[in-house]
Structure 1
Amino acid sequence: MTRVNLITGFLGCGKTTTLLHLLATKPDNEKWAVLVNEFGEIGIDGSLLAERGAVLKEISGGCMCCVNGLPMQVGLNTLLKQVKPDRLLIEPTGLGHPKQILSMLSDPLYQPWLTLQATFCLLDPRQLRQPRVKENENFRNQLLAADIIIANKKDCWQPEDESALENWRQTEAEGRLVITTTRGQIDRALLDKPRRNLRPLADAAHHHPVKQPLSLLSSLQLAGAGRWRRALNEGQGYFSCGWVFDSETVFETIAILEWARHAPVSRVKGVIRLGQGAVYINRQGEDFHIEMHPTAPPDSRIELINDQPADWNALQHKLLNIRLTIKA
């Protein structure tokens, strides 16, 4: 029997960082799996979570939250039947609605295979003071569906953020456990808490990807033809653009960090090959976090998300110009 936890949260709240922390605490005698879905088409989280001691299944740019979405069913069935993990952690996109996923996991069809345990929602309390986020139907329903609320990024809060969290706790938490933390540092034992929050959730207009053709600029491969590609997506008022570069393309460290820091978008994630090793980039608004790694991933992946269309071609032009080396 596989124990399952759903880990939700809006864009940039720290879901992947929390997963990394939990995977680092995995008991040696247990087999874990992770099913992850991203809004963008490129798939950054898979690179971040790879080789962390768990079996990984990605659904990039798909609609995991749709109960009729075959990617979710196929991914779930594959992990349960072929991997048979002791624990499965599911991370939907930050724009996903939890109702359909919870309905699927609670279906009698899956009762012989899994036990649905506590559902988590990561919350950056600063989002409670952002009308566009606070009024988002999926943001509200992610919080409503959770058994445990993880108020994350405490090191970044201002007094008014703590006040907003306290007001939310008093008016909407309804006795549920609210834990404050930094960098997703939570006790692994919380995963074994039971699923008790069975309140009905309203339907929402969940995200279906809108595939867009490559632009003329993205098809101009310049030097190093065929070594990279671009993918676009949009839904629920958000837009994404991502790039993947092959293993022979590397970037200049300072230049790529400056590009990511100053890109006029709200969200930047990347796993990028450097001359030596790699850098993991995670930016939400003005929060900018990087980690250097001595081992380079098999390719470079960069994803930008914004609440309005950006000049992707201009951003791409700058990105292509900071490639340090393209090996022959």
Structure 2
Amino acid sequence: MTKTNLITGFLGSGKTTTITHLLANKPENEKWAVLVNEFGEIGIDGALLADSGALLKEIPGGCMCCVNGLPMQVGLNTLLRQGRPDRLLIEPTGLGHPKQILDMLTADVYEPWIDLRATLTLLDPRQLLEQRLQNDENFRDQLAAADIIIANKADRQDEASRAALEAWLSSNLAGRKAITVSQGQIDPALLDSPRHNLRTLPASESHSHSHPASRGLAALSLASHQRWRRSLNSGQGHHACGWIFDEETRFDTIGLLEWARLAPVDRVKGVMRIPEGLVRINRQGQDFHIETQNVAPPDSRIEIIHSAECDWNQLQQDLLKLRLPDDNQR
């Protein structure tokens, strides 16, 4: 049986950073796998985790439990039966509802395969100050599903967010465990905590997304003749636009970072080719984190998410202007 953990949390709470930390500190003699789901189709998290050493399956373009659970079943079955990992980490989209996923993992058909351990829910305490999120059904239900609540980004907290966290925990912890960390640096031993939060979660009343009719079960890719491609997605009160560029396309470093920092959106995430190699971009609200390496990814991928419609064409026009010239650029 594969020890399995659901690692959930709203947009920007630090799920991918936490998983990256866990993979870097896993036992050397164990094979780990990650089933990652993203709201958009571009596959940013897959690109971020590609060199982690873990077996990886992506489910793009909405919730892994949509389409009667087919995308999740395909990815889950492939990892369990072909990969036979010692541990499986499941990262749903930050806009996903946990009930359908937990229902599937505890179904009789998976009982011989899955040893379901604690569900970890990442929380940026500053989110508790946003009335919009407090009213968000998925935000509330993700926290309700947690066996362990990880109050992440302690280094970004202020007096107001600390007070909000303390007040929320005093009213909602209900015997569950909560810890405070920075940059997702949790003790891997937490993964072996047992499930004890067996409360019944309501089904989401607003569980809907719009998917392209041709949506597949893999992240977006380019045809051999394409230099770049755009993808749009919407649902759960949010809208996403993502781009993928071929391996020959590089971007002006300073211009790209300014574009990502100033874009009038809630969320920006990407892995992009620049003259120096690659830059990983992660922005949530005003929090802006970048990491550069002198190795280049096979392509460039970037996605933006916002709680309202945006002028995607203008954002795209500004992004395309940042491409550096090459012999084939157009």
Contact 2:62-2:93 within 8 A present in 1 as well? no
Contact 1:66-1:101 within 8 A present in 2 as well? no
- Equivalent residue for 2:235? 235
Report the secondary structure of 2:5's partner residue. strand
Q: Distance in 2 between matches of 1:309 and 1:325?
A: 31
- Equivalent residue for 1:122? 122
- Code of the aligned partner of 1:294: N
1:298 maps to 2:298:
yes
Contact 1:252-1:322 within 8 A present in 2 as well? yes
Question: Post-superposition shift, 1:325?
Answer: 3.0
Q: Deviations over 1:129-149 (max 9, x none)?
A: 101111100110000011000
1:17 maps to 2:17:
yes
Taking the TM superposition and a 5 Å limit, the aligned residue runs for 1:260-275 are 260-275=260-275
- Equivalent residue for 1:218? none
Q: Distance in 2 between matches of 1:234 and 1:121?
A: 23
Q: Distance in 1 between matches of 2:159 and 2:231?
A: 40
- Code of the aligned partner of 1:54: A
Contact 2:65-2:71 within 8 A present in 1 as well? no
Structure 1 stretches lacking a partner, 5+ long:
214-224
Q: Distance in 2 between matches of 1:124 and 1:142?
A: 13
Question: Post-superposition shift, 1:293?
Answer: 1.1
Q: Distance in 2 between matches of 1:274 and 1:288?
A: 18
- Code of the aligned partner of 1:57: K
Question: Post-superposition shift, 1:294?
Answer: 1.3
Q: Distance in 1 between matches of 2:115 and 2:69?
A: 21
Taking the TM superposition and a 5 Å limit, the aligned residue runs for 1:120-159 are 120-159=120-159
1:40 maps to 2:35:
no
Q: Deviations over 1:155-208 (max 9, x none)?
A: 111101000000001000111111101100000000000111110001102242
Q: Distance in 1 between matches of 2:282 and 2:133?
A: 19
- Equivalent residue for 1:217? none
Contact 1:248-1:327 within 8 A present in 2 as well? no
RMSD: 1.5
Q: Deviations over 1:271-318 (max 9, x none)?
A: 000113100000000000000011111000010000000100000001
Q: Distance in 1 between matches of 2:213 and 2:170?
A: 44
Report the secondary structure of 2:19's partner residue. helix
- Equivalent residue for 1:321? 321
- Equivalent residue for 1:312? 312
Q: Deviations over 1:22-50 (max 9, x none)?
A: 00001110000000000011110000001
- Code of the aligned partner of 2:295: T
- Equivalent residue for 1:277? 277
Structure 2 stretches lacking a partner, 5+ long:
215-224
- Equivalent residue for 1:208? 209
- Code of the aligned partner of 2:236: Q
- Code of the aligned partner of 1:317: Q
